[in-house]
Amino acid sequence: MADLYLKALESERRKLWAECRLKGLARDTPERLRIVELDKLLAEHKAKKAKA
């Protein structure tokens, strides 16, 4: 079964990363901070999935 939560996180991260690259946004912008938060959520989800 597809992991929709994981796909949604990865999709949002890709969209934000593309936007940041296009606009040349600095590290402390809300978009870049959200990418860091998404990375943390992805790592936690993958770790939980690996345990199960």
Q: What is the pLDDT of residue 39?
A: 97
pTM of the entire predicted model: 0.88
Does residue 42 register a pLDDT over 80? Answer: yes
- Fill in the DSSP letter of residue 29: S
Q: pLDDT above 70 covers what percent of the chain? A: 96
The token pair that represents 19 in the structure block? 């936007």
Chain segment 1-24, per-residue pLDDT in tens: 578 999 999 999 999 999 999 999
Alpha-carbon dihedral angle through residues 29, 31, 35, 38, given to the nearest 10 degrees: 120
Mean pLDDT, residues 26-34 taken together: 94
Q: Of 6, 4, 16, whose CA–CA distance to 50 is shortest? A: 6
